[in-house]
Amino acid sequence: MRRSATTTAPLDQAHGLRRMFAAPRQHFVPLVHNPYVAYGGLAMERLCAAYAERRLRTLVVDAADTASAPHELSSVDLSACIEPLSGTVSFLAARGLPMRWLDSAGATAGFLAALAAAAPKIDVVLVHAGASDLGRLFAGRAPRPVLLAADRPESLTHAYASMKLLTQRLGVMAYDLLLAADGEPRHLTRIAERLADCADRFLGAALGTWAVADPGRADAEPLEPALRELAVAQLQGEPEHAGLHRPPAPAALGALAGLAN
């Protein structure tokens, strides 16, 4: 029997496009691990809270060197290793796990595809890993990494070094910054502005949004507007093609010296 055209075909081309783009899309948010940040866990919690406000479900994938080892079932059934923490947040311990998807080009992007398949109802996948690991994971993509830093000089040097590595390997030219610190606002503003200046002068990169995850702020207090803005920035679509690799940048250690003093 021949079906009615009204049930098998879109009303017009625009209708078909609307249906296609109305499909849910997972967003992968790369959070750059910084070993000199004491409140990295708090920073992840605040980001998850920002997404929960928008009724989005977040999967936190901790693949940093300091993370817990993955469950022994991870090589068989990745979905079985995802631990629900609340109605909107789930967690996956993934130290070293992306390397199981290492391909001949030295990339581990297959791990992101595996995560999408293992957690199809998740809206945001927050991937916490070192810059080198993120470079392999997001090969061929153009993400907008979130740098972690504090008000300690070594954390800022590490954040800049991570930015430099990702700029060279992925061609990424836009970053956001999350400061996990409880310093005086004017001082934290100065830190963010100096890091942004170094990114511009030495890498040609831009620091788009920055926010503070204050450990002294009660969980019941409303989130800072800047943190909400940073979370929303990460939901924007990424370009189809990553930028070209850039030549090595000059060191900016001198410009960062004394930044947190």
pTM of the model: 0.84
Q: In the numeric block, which tokens belong to residue 69?
A: 């080892």
Looking at residue 253, what is its pLDDT?
53
What is the mean pLDDT for each group of 10 consecutive residues in the chain (261 residues)?
40 46 73 97 96 97 97 93 97 97 97 97 98 97 96 96 97 97 92 96 96 91 95 75 40 57 53
Looking at residue 261, what is its pLDDT?
53
Architecture of the domain delimited by 25-256: 3-Layer(aba) Sandwich (3.40)
Looking at residue 75, what is its pLDDT?
86
Which of 61, 42, 200, 54 shows the shortest CA–CA distance to 119? 61
Looking at residue 180, what is its pLDDT?
96
Looking at residue 22, what is its pLDDT?
39
Looking at residue 258, what is its pLDDT?
55
d(CA 223, CA 220): 9
